[in-house]
Amino acid sequence: MLIASLLPLLARYSLGFDLVAGPDDTVTLTIIPRKPEGAAHKPEPSETRPISLSGTAAEIDAELARGPTGALGQLIVVRRTLADQIAEQRQAAETARAAAAETAKAKTAAVPKPPVSAPLKTPAPAIPPADARPEEPASLW
């Protein structure tokens, strides 16, 4: 029943398990999703967070037997939805980035280059007024 319950996770991740016996016949099963070998995208930390189930062996078996309606099944559905949303957001961001680059490229190509003109003439030196005196500064009035 364990493997059948984990098939949706196995489709997306490589899984590691940790099984620890505790006091009073309790057991903790930890499922650790990892990036599968050869996978193109790197999973987000929220996608690869370990899943722990604690209880007696009979309680864990009963929970796993519930399949998609059990806690593990519901958690897997939520994680799959989260992973799909993240993938959609990545795709939308990549599409927007490509569109922005294309728009910038089109704008750069559409901007006309200023025409090459003749060099600017330097203004003629200012001729001092006839009543100017060398010991006084020139007046604007």
What is the pLDDT confidence band of residue 125, given thresholds at 50, 70 and 90? low
pLDDT digits (tens, 9 = 90+) for 84-117: 788 888 889 999 999 998 888 888 777 676 676 6
d(CA 112, CA 103): 16
| Range with lowest mean pLDDT among 4-13, 47-56, 57-66, 109-118 | 109-118
pTM of structure: 0.53
Q: For residue 90, what are the CA distances in angstroms to 42, 43, 104, 112?
A: 12, 12, 21, 35
Q: Which fold has domain 2-100?
A: Double Stranded RNA Binding Domain (3.30.160)
Give the residue among 11, 2, 12, 20 at the shortest CA–CA distance from 48.
Answer: 12
| Range with lowest mean pLDDT among 12-16, 82-86, 101-105, 119-123 | 119-123
Phi, psi at residue 75, to the nearest 5°? -65, -40
Name the DSSP class of 23. Answer: G
Q: What is the DSSP string of 24-91?
A: GGEEEEEEEEEPPTT-SSPPPTTTT--EEEEEEHHHHHHHHHTGGGSHHHHHHHHHHHHHHHHHHHHH
d(CA 109, CA 47): 43
For residue 92, how many other CB atoms are within 10 A of its CB? 10
Name the DSSP class of 104. Answer: H
